Protein backbone atom coordinates (compact mmCIF):
# COMPACT_ATOMS: atom_id res chain seq x y z
CA UNK A 1 0.00 0.00 0.00
CA UNK A 2 1.34 3.42 -0.97
CA UNK A 3 2.60 5.66 1.84
CA UNK A 4 0.27 8.38 0.61
CA UNK A 5 -2.65 6.27 1.89
CA UNK A 6 -1.05 6.02 5.36
CA UNK A 7 -0.47 9.80 5.28
CA UNK A 8 -4.16 10.35 4.52
CA UNK A 9 -5.18 7.98 7.31
CA UNK A 10 -2.92 9.87 9.72
CA UNK A 11 -4.44 13.20 8.63
CA UNK A 12 -8.01 11.86 8.99
CA UNK A 13 -7.33 10.45 12.48
CA UNK A 14 -5.50 13.60 13.66
CA UNK A 15 -8.15 15.99 12.42
CA UNK A 16 -11.01 14.03 13.99
CA UNK A 17 -9.46 12.51 17.12
CA UNK A 18 -6.21 14.44 17.65
CA UNK A 19 -2.53 13.62 17.15
CA UNK A 20 -2.20 11.68 20.42
CA UNK A 21 -4.79 9.18 19.16
CA UNK A 22 -2.72 8.49 16.02
CA UNK A 23 0.33 7.63 18.13
CA UNK A 24 -1.82 5.46 20.38
CA UNK A 25 -3.08 3.54 17.34
CA UNK A 26 0.47 3.04 16.04
CA UNK A 27 1.50 1.82 19.46
CA UNK A 28 -1.38 -0.61 19.62
CA UNK A 29 -0.55 -1.83 16.09
CA UNK A 30 3.16 -2.19 16.98
CA UNK A 31 4.30 0.15 14.17
CA UNK A 32 6.62 3.17 14.07
CA UNK A 33 4.51 5.17 11.55
CA UNK A 34 7.37 6.42 9.34
CA UNK A 35 5.56 6.46 6.00
CA UNK A 36 6.73 8.57 3.05
CA UNK A 37 4.17 9.36 0.34
CA UNK A 38 5.99 7.52 -2.46
CA UNK A 39 7.10 4.52 -0.38
CA UNK A 40 5.34 1.18 -0.66
CA UNK A 41 4.47 -0.61 2.59
CA UNK A 42 2.89 -3.96 3.44
CA UNK A 43 -0.92 -3.99 3.26
CA UNK A 44 -0.80 -5.74 6.63
CA UNK A 45 0.49 -2.50 8.24
CA UNK A 46 -2.68 -0.73 7.08
CA UNK A 47 -4.88 -3.57 8.34
CA UNK A 48 -3.13 -3.50 11.73
CA UNK A 49 -3.85 0.23 12.11
CA UNK A 50 -7.45 -0.22 10.93
CA UNK A 51 -7.94 -3.10 13.39
CA UNK A 52 -6.46 -1.04 16.23
CA UNK A 53 -8.83 1.84 15.37
CA UNK A 54 -11.78 -0.57 15.21
CA UNK A 55 -10.95 -1.88 18.68
CA UNK A 56 -10.53 1.61 20.14
CA UNK A 57 -13.68 3.05 18.55
CA UNK A 58 -15.74 -0.13 19.00
CA UNK A 59 -16.46 -0.31 15.28
CA UNK A 60 -15.92 -3.07 12.76
CA UNK A 61 -12.81 -2.79 10.53
CA UNK A 62 -15.21 -2.29 7.59
CA UNK A 63 -16.84 0.68 9.35
CA UNK A 64 -13.40 2.22 9.97
CA UNK A 65 -12.46 1.82 6.29
CA UNK A 66 -15.73 3.42 5.21
CA UNK A 67 -15.23 6.33 7.62
CA UNK A 68 -11.67 6.75 6.33
CA UNK A 69 -12.89 6.75 2.70
CA UNK A 70 -15.46 9.47 3.45
CA UNK A 71 -12.97 11.65 5.36
CA UNK A 72 -10.13 11.28 2.89
CA UNK A 73 -12.09 12.09 -0.25
CA UNK A 74 -12.71 15.64 0.97
CA UNK A 75 -8.93 15.97 1.52
CA UNK A 76 -8.17 14.44 -1.89
CA UNK A 77 -10.61 16.87 -3.53
CA UNK A 78 -8.66 19.79 -2.03
CA UNK A 79 -5.28 18.37 -3.08
CA UNK A 80 -6.31 17.20 -6.54
CA UNK A 81 -8.90 19.83 -7.41
CA UNK A 82 -8.20 19.35 -11.12
CA UNK A 83 -10.01 15.98 -11.12
CA UNK A 84 -13.14 17.59 -9.68
CA UNK A 85 -13.17 20.75 -11.80
CA UNK A 86 -15.74 20.57 -14.56
CA UNK A 87 -18.00 18.25 -12.53
CA UNK A 88 -20.95 19.25 -10.41
CA UNK A 89 -21.95 15.74 -9.35
CA UNK A 90 -20.44 12.44 -8.25
CA UNK A 91 -22.58 10.97 -11.01
CA UNK A 92 -20.26 12.28 -13.72
CA UNK A 93 -17.04 12.14 -11.68
CA UNK A 94 -17.18 8.50 -10.58
CA UNK A 95 -17.15 7.08 -14.14
CA UNK A 96 -13.82 8.91 -14.69
CA UNK A 97 -11.92 7.00 -11.96
CA UNK A 98 -10.22 4.42 -14.22
CA UNK A 99 -9.53 6.48 -17.32
CA UNK A 100 -8.71 9.85 -15.74
CA UNK A 101 -8.10 9.87 -11.98
CA UNK A 102 -6.33 6.58 -11.37
CA UNK A 103 -4.62 6.83 -14.77
CA UNK A 104 -2.94 10.03 -13.52
CA UNK A 105 -2.28 8.46 -10.11
CA UNK A 106 -0.44 5.65 -11.88
CA UNK A 107 1.86 8.18 -13.56
CA UNK A 108 2.68 9.73 -10.17
CA UNK A 109 2.99 6.41 -8.33
CA UNK A 110 3.97 3.67 -10.84
CA UNK A 111 3.95 1.03 -8.10
CA UNK A 112 0.37 1.74 -7.03
CA UNK A 113 -1.97 -1.24 -7.07
CA UNK A 114 -5.15 0.40 -8.20
CA UNK A 115 -8.64 -1.08 -8.38
CA UNK A 116 -10.73 -1.21 -11.53
CA UNK A 117 -14.39 -0.26 -11.76
CA UNK A 118 -16.86 -1.30 -14.42
CA UNK A 119 -20.20 0.38 -14.96
CA UNK A 120 -23.35 -1.54 -15.79
CA UNK A 121 -26.80 -0.68 -17.10
CA UNK A 122 -29.16 0.33 -14.33
CA UNK A 123 -32.42 2.22 -13.79
CA UNK A 124 -32.21 5.93 -14.69
CA UNK A 125 -31.78 7.17 -11.10
CA UNK A 126 -29.01 4.66 -10.36
CA UNK A 127 -25.28 4.47 -11.08
CA UNK A 128 -24.21 0.83 -10.92
CA UNK A 129 -20.49 0.28 -10.26
CA UNK A 130 -18.70 -3.04 -10.01
CA UNK A 131 -15.47 -3.04 -8.00
CA UNK A 132 -12.55 -5.27 -9.06
CA UNK A 133 -9.46 -5.57 -6.87
CA UNK A 134 -7.41 -8.36 -5.39
CA UNK A 135 -7.43 -6.37 -2.13
CA UNK A 136 -11.18 -6.57 -1.47
CA UNK A 137 -11.26 -3.10 0.04
CA UNK A 138 -14.91 -2.65 -0.93
CA UNK A 139 -15.70 -0.84 2.33
CA UNK A 140 -13.03 1.72 1.47
CA UNK A 141 -14.52 2.00 -2.03
CA UNK A 142 -17.96 2.66 -0.52
CA UNK A 143 -16.47 5.35 1.74
CA UNK A 144 -14.78 6.99 -1.26
CA UNK A 145 -18.07 6.97 -3.17
CA UNK A 146 -19.89 8.55 -0.20
CA UNK A 147 -17.04 11.03 0.24
CA UNK A 148 -17.29 12.05 -3.42
CA UNK A 149 -20.99 12.85 -2.92
CA UNK A 150 -20.07 14.86 0.20
CA UNK A 151 -17.65 16.93 -1.87
CA UNK A 152 -20.54 17.89 -4.17
CA UNK A 153 -22.96 18.25 -1.20
CA UNK A 154 -25.20 15.61 -2.73
CA UNK A 155 -27.49 13.22 -0.93
CA UNK A 156 -27.02 9.65 -2.12
CA UNK A 157 -27.80 6.16 -0.92
CA UNK A 158 -25.30 3.40 -1.60
CA UNK A 159 -26.42 -0.23 -1.66
CA UNK A 160 -23.90 -3.04 -1.79
CA UNK A 161 -26.13 -5.95 -2.81
CA UNK A 162 -23.34 -8.25 -3.99
CA UNK A 163 -20.11 -8.51 -2.00
CA UNK A 164 -17.09 -10.79 -2.40
CA UNK A 165 -16.56 -10.71 1.36
CA UNK A 166 -20.05 -12.20 1.72
CA UNK A 167 -19.31 -14.93 -0.81
CA UNK A 168 -20.59 -13.33 -4.04
CA UNK A 169 -18.40 -13.46 -7.12
CA UNK A 170 -18.03 -9.67 -7.28
CA UNK A 171 -18.79 -6.44 -5.40
CA UNK A 172 -21.53 -4.27 -6.85
CA UNK A 173 -22.67 -0.84 -5.72
CA UNK A 174 -26.00 0.72 -6.62
CA UNK A 175 -25.77 4.45 -6.05
CA UNK A 176 -29.00 6.44 -6.03
CA UNK A 177 -28.98 10.19 -6.27
CA UNK A 178 -31.79 11.86 -4.40
CA UNK A 179 -33.26 14.65 -6.50
CA UNK A 180 -33.59 17.90 -4.61
CA UNK A 181 -37.33 18.55 -4.96
CA UNK A 182 -38.35 22.18 -4.37
CA UNK A 183 -40.81 22.49 -1.47
CA UNK A 184 -43.10 24.55 -3.69
CA UNK A 185 -43.45 24.10 -7.43
CA UNK A 186 -42.17 27.11 -9.39
CA UNK A 187 -45.38 26.74 -11.46
CA UNK A 188 -47.69 27.06 -8.44
CA UNK A 189 -50.22 29.89 -8.88
CA UNK A 190 -50.62 31.20 -5.28
C1 LIG B 1 -8.48 12.69 -6.29
C2 LIG B 1 -8.96 11.50 -6.43
C3 LIG B 1 -8.21 10.20 -6.14
C4 LIG B 1 -6.87 9.96 -5.95
C5 LIG B 1 -5.74 10.97 -5.96
C6 LIG B 1 -6.73 8.53 -5.70
C7 LIG B 1 -5.54 7.89 -5.41
C8 LIG B 1 -5.40 6.60 -4.98
C9 LIG B 1 -4.16 6.01 -4.49
C10 LIG B 1 -2.80 6.70 -4.44
C11 LIG B 1 -4.44 4.75 -4.09
C12 LIG B 1 -3.46 3.74 -3.44
C13 LIG B 1 -2.95 2.68 -4.36
C14 LIG B 1 -1.93 1.80 -3.65
O15 LIG B 1 -1.79 1.87 -2.44
O16 LIG B 1 -1.23 1.01 -4.30
C17 LIG B 1 -5.86 4.55 -4.34
C18 LIG B 1 -6.52 3.41 -4.04
C19 LIG B 1 -7.87 3.27 -4.16
N20 LIG B 1 -8.75 4.12 -4.79
FE21 LIG B 1 -8.34 5.97 -5.44
N22 LIG B 1 -7.96 7.92 -5.79
C23 LIG B 1 -8.88 8.92 -6.04
C24 LIG B 1 -10.22 8.76 -6.19
C25 LIG B 1 -10.89 7.59 -6.00
C26 LIG B 1 -12.32 7.45 -6.09
C27 LIG B 1 -13.33 8.56 -6.46
C28 LIG B 1 -12.61 6.18 -5.78
C29 LIG B 1 -14.02 5.66 -5.77
C30 LIG B 1 -14.43 4.54 -5.40
C31 LIG B 1 -11.35 5.48 -5.50
C32 LIG B 1 -11.19 4.16 -5.12
C33 LIG B 1 -10.02 3.59 -4.66
C34 LIG B 1 -9.95 2.33 -3.93
C35 LIG B 1 -11.11 1.45 -3.56
C36 LIG B 1 -8.59 2.12 -3.61
C37 LIG B 1 -7.96 0.98 -2.78
C38 LIG B 1 -7.10 0.04 -3.55
C39 LIG B 1 -7.86 -1.18 -4.00
O40 LIG B 1 -9.08 -1.28 -3.78
O41 LIG B 1 -7.22 -2.09 -4.59
N42 LIG B 1 -10.33 6.38 -5.67
N43 LIG B 1 -6.41 5.68 -4.90
Instruction: Tell me the backbone φ, ψ of residue 46, rounded to 5 degrees.
Output: -65, -40
Q: What 3-state class would DSSP assign to 136?
A: coil
Q: How many residues can be counted in the chain?
A: 190
Residues in the ligand 1 pocket, defined by CB under 6 Å? 1-2, 4-5, 76, 80, 83, 97, 101-102, 105, 109, 112-115, 133, 135, 137, 140-141, 144-145, 148
How much is the pLDDT for 178? Answer: 83
pTM confidence score:
0.92
Q: For a substitution probing ligand 1, which of 49, 82, 115 has the most ligand atoms within 8 Å of its CB?
A: 115
**pLDDT tens, residue by residue, 82-140:** 999 999 999 999 999 999 999 999 999 999 999 999 999 999 999 999 999 999 999 99
Q: What's the CATH code, domain 71-180?
A: 3.90.1520.10
Which atom in ligand 1 lies closest to the alpha carbon of residue 140?
Answer: 35
- In sequence order, the β-bridge partners of residue 130 are 118, 172
**pLDDT tens, residue by residue, 137-169:** 999 999 999 999 999 999 999 999 999 999 999
How much is the pLDDT for 6? Answer: 97
How many other C-beta atoms are found inside a 10 Å radius of the C-beta of residue 178?
Answer: 11
CA distance linking residue 30 with residue 52, whole number of Å: 10
Q: What contacts 179, CB < 8 A, 6 or more positions away?
A: 125
Domain map (residue ranges) of the chain: 1-58, 71-180
Amino acid sequence: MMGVVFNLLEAAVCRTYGEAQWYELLDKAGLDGAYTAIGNYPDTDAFRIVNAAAETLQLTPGEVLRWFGRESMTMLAERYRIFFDGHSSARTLLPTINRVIHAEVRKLYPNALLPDFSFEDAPADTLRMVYHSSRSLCDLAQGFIEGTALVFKEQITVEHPHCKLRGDHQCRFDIRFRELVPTKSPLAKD
